[in-house]
Structure 1
Amino acid sequence: MSESVPLVEPGLPLWREYLELCKPRVVALICFTAVVGMLLAVPGMVPLNALLAGNLGIFLAASSAAVINQVIDARVDAQMDRTRNRPLPTGSVRPSDALVFAGVLAVLSMVLLVVWVNLLTAVLTFASLIGYAVIYTAYLKRATPQNIVIGGAAGAAPPVLGWTAVTGTVDPNALLLFLIVFVWTPPHFWALAIRRHEEYARVKIPMLPVTHGLAYTRLHVLLYTALLLAVSLLPFVTRFAGWPYALAALALGARFMHWAVRLYRTHDAAIASATFRFSIIYLMGLFAALLVDHYLPRWGLG
């Protein structure tokens, strides 16, 4: 069954279409967690090459992965209300041009990271790119309702990439940051999947609410949110962070639990949307709290 393709807005600059292919809002959150990883890795200022070249390299790699994701998903995106106006479904960018664009971004990323940062960061960044763009998008997404759990490893890598860009090593504290994002990903995305479950069912993507039902998915959002609250306190337990962070983590976790409980008790799609939106605020707030806690002693307040 064919679907009509939405008309492209006349006169829309082509650069904006290519920028949209990069999923700038998602990549901005990725880069934020990477920057926090960099700043937490050292007591003082981050070396300029790591701060500039490292973040640009991570940004370009994440953008490349986003473009490849949309090329692979173009036919599915055209059938979903949330994604049907993306540049590939509308025909404003050709798939072949998008792939060339993704390749250029990936090459530039690797050159920046290898030449101006370090090889470990380049290797881990490339592995994350392949993990999201190929393993998750092309295989896991269509193979199992646990797709977002398994594939979440690629999305949880940025704070580790930021850390290695500065130190050249993978530190246990960096892995704590990875774990937080990894556990955050399922309740974050499943809230959206609940809101859009009919669309995922229509395109035969086996997201959890499609394969196991809404009630089952709501329960798992609640359980993962409770697990996230516990995991978010590990930096305090290991003395990587202090009381200011712990209090912020408890407050943010309690608010996330509030939304998860409401989602569990209701069939209102608006609550699923609100839970999804708050999950983004939660992650940004948690990493910001880690950063503030890290610098409080330098400000004479810790």
Structure 2
Amino acid sequence: LTAWLTFASLLGYAVVYTMYLKRATPQNIVIAGIAGAMPPLLGWTAVTGELHGNAWLLVMIIFIWTPPHFWALAIHRKVDYAKADIPMLPVTHGEEYTKTSILLYTVLLSVVCLLPALVGMSGTLYWIGSSLLSLGFVAYAWKLKYNPNEKTAIETFKFSIYHLMVLFLLLLADHYWSLLV
């Protein structure tokens, strides 16, 4: 199962995204985002041999996280994407539209990030940490939209990396904490 899912993910990323979507549509990141979001599902199926809803929840978090992450970088590197003729959202729809999209996706991500606690996959430690991280990410997205400076886009991009890393560390910490109490 894991091998087939890995193969499908590889085809999605290497063939569909890289060879076609990347240069075909400004929604390239959204459409192909599922391929990049698959690692938690691959790990889950490798260990359990099953497609579990909790694994899909982790995929959903990364899938919703991907657009604001890459669009913030795309704003910062807009000129480079335009020169390379890659139709990233800020190139095709402008920075304001992209900033609005980043803010909306970040708000949606904040809700999705609470789902592990709501379905019983994690507990209070994760709930609190996820809420604080989400507030931080929304604050960066808000600043990018309403009070930007020349560094806000790259700062938002960098925070998005921190957000995802700490979020998954919180899931682990919460899991192991629950085993101790």
Which structure 2 residues correspond to residues 249-264 of structure 1 after superposition, within 5 A? 249-264=130-145
Which structure 2 residues correspond to residues 167-206 of structure 1 after superposition, within 5 A? 167-206=48-87
The residue aligned with 1:276 is 157
In structure 2, distance between residues paired with 1:220 and 1:269: 19
In structure 2, distance between residues paired with 1:267 and 1:194: 11
The residue aligned with 2:176 is 295
**What is the percentage of aligned positions where both structures have the same residue?**
57
Higher helix fraction (1 or 2): 2
Structure 1: 4+ residue segments shifted above 4 A: none
Kindly indicate whether residue 32 of structure 2 is the aligned counterpart of residue 151 of structure 1. yes
In structure 2, distance between residues paired with 1:132 and 1:162: 18
Q: Which amino acid aligns with 1:195?
A: H
Kindly indicate whether residue 22 of structure 2 is the aligned counterpart of residue 141 of structure 1. yes
The residue aligned with 2:112 is 231
Shift of the alpha carbon at 1:267? 4.5
Q: Which amino acid aligns with 1:128?
A: S
In structure 2, distance between residues paired with 1:199 and 1:171: 40
The residue aligned with 2:2 is 121
Given the alignment, which residue of 236, 245, 256 partners 2:126?
Answer: 245
Which has the larger displacement, 133-142 or 290-299? 290-299
The residue aligned with 1:166 is 47
Q: Which amino acid aligns with 2:38?
A: A
In structure 1, distance between residues paired with 2:116 and 2:126: 9
Which secondary structure does the structure 1 equivalent of 2:12 belong to?
Answer: helix
In structure 2, distance between residues paired with 1:269 and 1:133: 33
> Contact 1:194–1:269 at 8 Å: present in 2 too?
no
Shift of the alpha carbon at 1:297? 2.3
**1:138-194: CA deviations, max 9, x gaps?**
101111110000111011000000000001111000000000000000000000000
Shift of the alpha carbon at 1:268? 2.4
Q: Which amino acid aligns with 2:110?
A: L
In structure 2, distance between residues paired with 1:121 and 1:217: 35
Which secondary structure does the structure 1 equivalent of 2:151 belong to?
Answer: helix
Structure 2 length-normalised TM: 0.98
In structure 2, distance between residues paired with 1:237 and 1:215: 33
In structure 1, distance between residues paired with 2:17 and 2:148: 29
Kindly indicate whether residue 107 of structure 2 is the aligned counterpart of residue 220 of structure 1. no
Q: What is the RMSD computed on CA atoms of the aligned residues?
A: 0.8
In structure 2, distance between residues paired with 1:197 and 1:268: 15
Which secondary structure does the structure 2 equivalent of 1:241 belong to?
Answer: coil
In structure 1, distance between residues paired with 2:118 and 2:21: 34
Alignment CA distance shift 1:188-1:175 (3 Å) = same
Q: Which amino acid aligns with 1:126?
A: F
